[in-house]
Amino acid sequence: MNRQSLFLRISPIASLIIVLALWELTVIVFNIPGYLLPKPSTIFAAIVEYWPAILRESTYTLVTTMVGFGLAVVFGLALGLLVGYSATIYAGLYPLMVAFNAIPKVAVVPILVLWFGIGAVPAALTAFLISFFPIVVNVATGLATIESELEDVLKALGASKLDIMRKVGIPRALPYFFGSLKIAITLAFVGSVLSESVASNHGIGKFMMMAQAQFQVPLIFAGLFVLGFMGIAMYLVMAWIEKRMTGWAHRSGFSN
Amino acid sequence: MQPFIEFDGVDHGYGAEGPLAVQDLHVSIGEGEFAAVVGPSGCGKSTFMKLTTGLQFPRAGTITVAGERVTKPVRMAGMAFQAPNLLPWRTTIENILLPLEIVPPHRQQFRAKKKEYRERAEALLERVGLKGAGDKHPWELSGGMQMRAALCRALIHQPKLLMLDEPFGALDAFTREELWCVIRDLHAETGVTVILVTHDLREAVFLADRVFAMSARPGRILAERRIELERPRDLELTYTAEFQSLVHELREHIVTARK
């Protein structure tokens, strides 16, 4: 491993350590009270102290999020293919989808609770609702940007629209699809935690709400840290899948 | 003898009311003939291609290909454009095999005859000077090599008609001349009918049996010139006075067309 790639490897960890150290130092130097901004060391102590509860609640949130995310992948892919396949369907559905995406999901949670009761179902559905839009848009974009000359080559051979979709459109849309998963997974966490903090008896969202009610500020931050960690972990999983599935699309040496 | 491709009084423009892109085309091309269409840019050369292959249908007049009136994509044309348009997720050989996955009867037999088809593709690759490059991905090939692969893709299903739309426009002069020879030999060996759209007059004269010069929009056929140069033609020919005067003569037509 040469010097440059060594720096590349340690730079994410180094930046994290630097930020935490600056944070710790700022709190000490300016003598900020712990109920406003606890020190990172206090937060880590709280994580260790409440580990069993944190582990239980965050697992719950993770499962809920993944269920919602899974739904988003299935529906997002299907809808994206449909919208990208036909200009008519695109014209018909797009305004509806944009309008739907513009609605703050926090406003939808009470309705979901009304229908499904409090708990995991509205949380998973909120995660689904908030994360499927980027998937649809990306898949549809991938399909819509087929080179017209290539389409001509295939049409002159008598290819049907379905042939063109199968041979060119779908493989071409895959990098867009896998790219969108990275955005969708982080949004899915936003959705499930949002719903949990409004209406649930479980999950890290609820956990943070309880910590707030009891004025346990380090625990609130502990919840944030855990969420941040889960977000990064799932993002990395998606990035890994993306690279594995569509390596051909990542051949540029631009950022090296 | 019935011509292989016949345009009879063809007008065409895009959209219902749009201006005409080509006007009153009368063209007939025999089977196995090598025809070149030259003209200033925007003269409707590409429209001519689309009409011939059934990707567009004329507003007026009729087009007949292989004895049948064109009312749908002709299903037998191999095409290559200036951009090679190879699929980056497929290897070169898989790119070349693509038409066989679409054109009947090959598409039904594709799995069963895969080995035979691969051999056919390998033979074509060798023919265009790309032996052994089949397992590389297109992005690992140079522009000229990609163009060669695109030619193989256009020929793999043994089409009766090969349409080339400025195929060598993006290549350097040496590669271009090499590919002229490749096309020349493929035409001689397979007897395929070729329509080459180009703005390179030397290219047109070197390769074609007949050159059509088109006017600026709306494109009309200004002149039709039979090239009587003996085949097989050698690149040296392009430096002879006879060749130069043909190029000159065509150039006159184009210059007039641009005024």
Enter the ipTM. 0.82
Q: Please judge whether A249 and B79 are an interchain contact, meaning their C-beta atoms are less than 8 angstroms apart.
A: no
Q: Please judge whether B79 and A152 are an interchain contact, meaning their C-beta atoms are less than 8 angstroms apart.
A: yes
Q: Which of A150, A151, A153, A177 to mutate to test the interface with B (most CBs of B within 10 A)?
A: A153
Start-to-end C-alpha separation, chain A: 14
What are the residues whose beta carbons fall under 8 Å from the beta carbon of A161, sequence distance 6 or more? A85
Please tell me whether residue A147 adopts helix, strand or coil conformation.
coil
Residue B53 touches chain A, beta carbons under 8 Å: yes
What are the residues whose beta carbons fall under 8 Å from the beta carbon of A60, sequence distance 6 or more? A120, A202, A203, A204
Mean pLDDT for chain B overall: 90
Domain boundaries of chain A, sorted by first residue:
1-32, 40-247
Residue A156 touches chain B, beta carbons under 8 Å: yes
Q: For residue B64, which phi and psi values (nearest 5 degrees)?
A: -120, 130
Cβ–Cβ under 8 Å, residues B22 and B218 = yes
Question: What does the block give as tokens for B109?
Answer: 């037999």
pLDDT at B239 over 80: yes
**CA gap A128, A65 in Å, rounded:** 8
**CA gap A2, B164 in Å, rounded:** 49
Cβ–Cβ under 8 Å, residues A180 and A135 = yes
For B85, the closest of A150, A174, A249 (CB atoms) is A150
Q: Please judge whether A158 and B104 are an interchain contact, meaning their C-beta atoms are less than 8 angstroms apart.
A: yes
Paired sense of beta strands B60-65 and B5-13, if any: antiparallel
**CA gap B125, B110 in Å, rounded:** 19
Judging contacts by C-beta atoms under 8 Å, the chain A residues touching residue B101 are 167
Q: How far is A157 from chain B (nearest CA, A)?
A: 4
Q: How far is A208 from chain B (nearest CA, A)?
A: 46
For A157, the closest of B83, B99, B139 (CB atoms) is B99
Give percent of chain A above pLDDT 90: 66
pLDDT at A255 over 60: no
Instruction: Write the pLDDT tens digit of every residue in B33-71.
Output: 999 999 887 778 888 988 999 988 999 999 999 888 998
In this structure, what DSSP letter does residue A168 have? I
Q: Please judge whether A171 and B89 are an interchain contact, meaning their C-beta atoms are less than 8 angstroms apart.
A: yes
Round the CA-based radius of gyration of chain B to a whole number and report it.
18
Instruction: Write the pLDDT tens digit of every residue in A131-180.
Output: 999 999 999 988 888 888 888 888 888 888 889 999 999 999 999 999 99
Instruction: Write the pLDDT tens digit of every residue in B94-149.
Output: 999 999 999 888 888 888 889 999 999 999 999 888 888 889 999 899 988 999 99
Judging contacts by C-beta atoms under 8 Å, the chain B residues touching residue A171 are 87, 89
Judging contacts by C-beta atoms under 8 Å, the chain B residues touching residue A167 are 87, 98, 101-102
Q: How far is A246 from chain B (nearest CA, A)?
A: 8
Instruction: Write the pLDDT tens digit of every residue in B192-213.
Output: 999 999 989 999 999 999 999 9
Residue in A closest to B158 by C-alpha: A157
Q: How far is B257 from chain A (nearest CA, A)?
A: 27
**CA gap B10, B220 in Å, rounded:** 10
Q: Please judge whether B89 and A155 are an interchain contact, meaning their C-beta atoms are less than 8 angstroms apart.
A: no
CB pairs under 8 A between A and B: 64
Q: Please judge whether B103 and A152 are an interchain contact, meaning their C-beta atoms are less than 8 angstroms apart.
A: no
For chain A, counts of helices (H) and of strands (E): 11, 0
pLDDT at A256: 43
Q: Please judge whether A157 and B103 are an interchain contact, meaning their C-beta atoms are less than 8 angstroms apart.
A: yes
Residue B196 touches chain A, beta carbons under 8 Å: no
Please tell me whether residue A202 adopts helix, strand or coil conformation.
coil
Q: Which of A103-117, A215-229, B67-81 has the lowest average pLDDT?
A: B67-81
Q: Please judge whether A248 and B81 are an interchain contact, meaning their C-beta atoms are less than 8 angstroms apart.
A: no
Residue B239 touches chain A, beta carbons under 8 Å: no
Q: Please judge whether A157 and B73 are an interchain contact, meaning their C-beta atoms are less than 8 angstroms apart.
A: yes
CATH label, A40-247, candidates 1.10.10.10, 3.20.190.10, 1.10.3720.10, 3.10.310.30:
1.10.3720.10
CB atoms within 10 A of CB A210: 17
pLDDT at A17: 94
Q: For residue B110, which phi and psi values (nearest 5 degrees)?
A: -55, -45
Q: Is residue B232 reached through a cis peptide bond, with omega within 30 degrees of 0 on the bond before it? A: yes
Q: How far is A187 from chain B (nearest CA, A)?
A: 29
pLDDT at A254: 55
Higher pLDDT, B214 or A248: B214
Judging contacts by C-beta atoms under 8 Å, the chain A residues touching residue B80 are 153
Q: How far is B88 from chain A (nearest CA, A)?
A: 7
Q: Please judge whether B79 and A163 are an interchain contact, meaning their C-beta atoms are less than 8 angstroms apart.
A: no
pLDDT at B93: 95
Residue B138 touches chain A, beta carbons under 8 Å: no
Residue A248 touches chain B, beta carbons under 8 Å: yes
pLDDT at B169: 84
Work out the average pLDDT over A210-224: 94
Domain boundaries of chain B, sorted by first residue:
87-159
**CA gap A31, A48 in Å, rounded:** 24
**Cα within 13 Å of Cα(B111), Cβ side:** 1
Instruction: Write the pLDDT tens digit of every residue in A1-28.
Output: 577 888 888 888 999 999 999 999 999 9
Judging contacts by C-beta atoms under 8 Å, the chain A residues touching residue B137 are 248
Q: Please judge whether A156 and B74 are an interchain contact, meaning their C-beta atoms are less than 8 angstroms apart.
A: yes
pLDDT at A253: 52
For residues A86, A87, A90, A93, the Cα torsion angle rounded to the nearest 10 degrees is: -90
Give percent of chain A above pLDDT 70: 97
